[in-house]
Chains A and B, each alone.
Chain A
Amino acid sequence: MSTSLNVWSDALSEFSLFGLPVGLVIVAALPLVFIALYALTYGVYGERKISAFMQDRLGPMEVGKWGILQTLADILKLLQKEDIVNKSADKFLFVIGPGILFVGSFLAFAVLPFGPAFIGADLNVGLFYAIGIVALEVVGILAAGWGSNNKWALYGAIRSVAQIVSYEIPAAIAILCGVMMAGTLSMQQFTILQQGEYGFLHFFLFQNPIAWIPFLIYFIASLAETNRAPFDIPEAESELVAGYFTEYSGMKFAVIFLAEYASMFMVSAIISIVFLGGWNSPFPNIGPLLLNDWTTGPVWGAFWIIMKGFFFIFIQMWLRWTLPRLRVDQLMHVCWKVLTPFAFVAFVLTAIWEIYVK
């Protein structure tokens, strides 16, 4: 495995200006800059374009070629907007809510491996940390909903939190099936275990036929955890205006939006790492065609994980325009009576497979 990026990033992290560790800050900020760029420009643009094509429309077309600069214009608009705090809001919670939400959705990025040499912190409890830290987001949502002092916002916040807390259970058990296959909680180790010359055949999803159950369960539960359709009752427009961010405008709204796109990418990256090999190339080596070797390396690694993330984000957007929204009771029914028992069955089956078959 090439370590050229490692040397390069080491050199960058030792760079300092006037005794301040500037290089370290730059290295730490790179994934965040990537997410901010992706989320606020091409995430939003992609969502609008995809939804437009699915409804046989053109979507944004005015600003720039094919409307590519539309989001930049929107950002300028959001930056210029007046920061409105409504009179009867709880000022402190209203301001701190989006902040906690934003921090909470970015904390998990510390343990995401973006390549063989690029990982913020290779914790040996990485995966556990990534699914545990979501709890902070929940508190941010509650602060925003309560601070707005608006019944729609409070309903939205309570619904959202109830949904996230409930769906954490099938999601965590599904992830546990992956953990049993790998025998580790470190995200980097997870990816390395799925490396090999046969490309996608080494991914856990193709190593074990049972892995499809936890894979699908985690994908469904991750939709609910990020409040995406069909589980978007927290922001159901026809009932609740906009859910917990009804009262927010300008940059605070943008921050909430950014947090949502960040957590969408986060769950997509987690599912790619656990079941689809993270930064490993999916191409196999076929005879003299060394497709796997040609597409492996530090930069390719970042490319693959981002592509896999984008693939799942595309499916999330696709589902949004395909499936109708679930009712509250249907939502809880799916979680407790369908996903959780299936997750338990998958857990037991994976254990049996790991002990007796493999």
Chain B
Amino acid sequence: MTNTTYTVIFYLFAAVTVFSAAFVVFSRNIIYSAFSLLFTFFGVAALYVFLSADFIAVTQIMVYVGGILVLLLFGVMFTNKIMMTDLKTDVLNILPGIVLLLSITGGLIYTFVARAEWFTSTVQLQGSVVEKIGFETMSRYVLPFEMVSILLLLALIGAAFLARFDKPGKTNDK
């Protein structure tokens, strides 16, 4: 594929990401917001692919679409009267909002254009990134990796503990 094709596809995915993210914020229907998040996550995954981080891209889909989005949708669907609630998407506090928006945008543009040093990597990415990620997590970053897994295990056990309900004077088994 030529360079222009890449550019066109890149802007396509960027547009999908930005517009669906805007839809998440501006939609008055919370179900639509949640479903729109799907396209945002996919767009971000596609942008990871453009950075040749294919492992991160698939992880993004697996974790965000398969986990977090489903959890969100379940949360929305199991909440009573969610469709009756009047969502507020009005524009409030116009003046402070504009000041904040302008200062953040200005700051970001300033950092990107004036301060940032864009450097291109001297070493070209070659071969599989997955193997390198595996080796690094199991050697150099093994302590953070184990700590994160213990943290997640704690969260899992905590969630299971909170979710089970014991009837007083009666065990849960049979």
Contacts and interface: CB of A to CB of B under 8 A. Distances in A.
Given A124-B130, A125-B54, A133-B61, A93 B35 contact: yes
Contacts of A185: 130
A353 to B, nearest CB: 19
A92 interface: yes
A-B residue pairs, 6 tightest by C-beta: A135-B66, A132-B62, A124-B128, A135-B65, A129-B58, A132-B58
Query: Size class of B's contact patch?
Result: 20 to 34
Given A124-B54, A134-B66, 4 more contacts: A123-B54, A124-B127, A136-B61, A136-B65
A124 B73 contact: no
Contacts of B130: 124-125, 128, 185
Given A90-B31, A124-B128, A132 B61 contact: yes
A121 B33 CA distance: 32
B6 interface: no
Contacts of A133: 58, 61
Contact of B70 (A124, A142, A154): A142
Given A124-B129, A132-B62, A158-B77, A92 B54 contact: no
A135 to B, nearest CB: 3
B19 interface: no
Contact of A139 (B35, B58, B128): B35
B70 A168 contact: no
Contact of A142 (B32, B66, B77): B77
B21 interface: no
Interface string A62-102: 00000000000000000000000000001011001000100
Nearest to A185: B130
Contacts of B73: 139, 142
B46 interface: no
B112 to A, nearest CB: 30
A310 to B, nearest CB: 28
A165 B58 contact: no
Interface in B100-133: 127-130
A138 B62 CA distance: 11
B38 interface: yes
B74 interface: yes
B161 to A, nearest CB: 15
28 contacts: A90-B31, A93-B35, A96-B35, A125-B58, A128-B55, A128-B58, A128-B62, A132-B66, A133-B58, A134-B66, A135-B61, A135-B62, A135-B67, A135-B69, A135-B70, A136-B65, A139-B69, A142-B70, A143-B35, A146-B77, A158-B77, A165-B66, A165-B67, A165-B70, A168-B66, A184-B128, A185-B130, A186-B128
Interface of B: 31-32, 35, 38, 54-55, 58-59, 61-62, 65-67, 69-70, 73-74, 77, 127-130
A161 interface: yes
Contacts of A158: 74, 77
Contacts of A96: 35
Contacts of A142: 70, 73, 77
A154 B77 contact: yes
B36 to A, nearest CB: 11
A168 B74 CA distance: 17
B56 to A, nearest CB: 10
A138 B70 contact: yes
A125 B55 contact: yes
A246 B97 CA distance: 47
Nearest to B73: A142
Contacts of B54: 123-125
Interface in A107-149: 123-125, 128-129, 131-136, 138-139, 142-143, 146
B38 to A, nearest CB: 5
B65 A139 contact: yes
Interface string A14-41: 0000000000000000000000000000
B63 to A, nearest CB: 9
A158 B74 CA distance: 8
A161 B76 CA distance: 14
Contacts of A136: 38, 61, 65
A146 B129 contact: no
Contacts of A125: 54-55, 58, 130
Contacts of A129: 58
The listed residue with most B CB atoms (<10 A of its CB), out of A90, A93, A123, is A123
